[in-house]
């Protein structure tokens, strides 16, 4: 990050741990996609308001996944499924089967997004420094 993308050490030390500790983008996306998938299996349609509610509930449920992995990380999904009348009992066995693959995607997404943030912050700082430098 510091060498290739020119992000400062301080920026990386601030944004990356905070991002991994609070913003679990992989879990958010996983819960939203799993809810839509289980809904489609059961013939449930989602309107625009439902999709917004799925997104909000997925963000809230992602905070419950801090520090846990495996099947235990699927437990917060119940809080996303239940408001729509979708059974967690059906989702759990299906998701346990695909969880090893989904876990790799969740981790990849978490790392990618949490590395993009300091890179963007470094880019802004680089652009500001270039604008302040006298033109030659």
Q: pTM of this prediction?
A: 0.75
- Digit-by-digit pLDDT tens for the chain (136 residues) are 777 767 777 777 877 787 777 778 888 898 999 999 999 999 999 999 999 999 999 999 988 887 777 778 788 989 999 999 999 888 888 888 888 888 888 888 888 888 888 877 776 665 555 566 555 5
Cβ atoms of 110 and 104 closer than 8 Å? no
Nearest alpha-carbon partner for 115 in 28, 29, 11: 11
Give the distance from CA 128 to its chain's centroid. 30
Q: Two tokens at 30?
A: 């996983």
Residue corresponding to tokens 């998701």: 95
Question: Token pair of 45, please?
Answer: 């349609």
């Amino acid at each position: 990050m510091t060498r290739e993308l020119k992000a400062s050490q301080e920026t990386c030390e601030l944004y990356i741990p905070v991002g991994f500790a609070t913003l679990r983008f992989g879990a958010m996306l996983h819960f939203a996609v799993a809810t839509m998938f289980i809904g489609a299996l059961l013939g449930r349609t989602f309107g625009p308001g439902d999709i917004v509610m799925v997104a909000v509930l997925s963000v809230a449920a992602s905070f419950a996944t801090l520090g846990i992995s495996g099947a235990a990380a699927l437990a917060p999904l119940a809080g996303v499924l239940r408001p729509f009348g979708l059974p967690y009992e059906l989702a759990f066995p299906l998701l346990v089967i695909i969880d090893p693959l989904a876990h790799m995607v969740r981790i990849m997404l978490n790392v990618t997004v949490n590395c993009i943030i300091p890179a963007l912050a470094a880019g802004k700082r680089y652009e500001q420094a270039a604008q302040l430098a006298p033109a030659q």
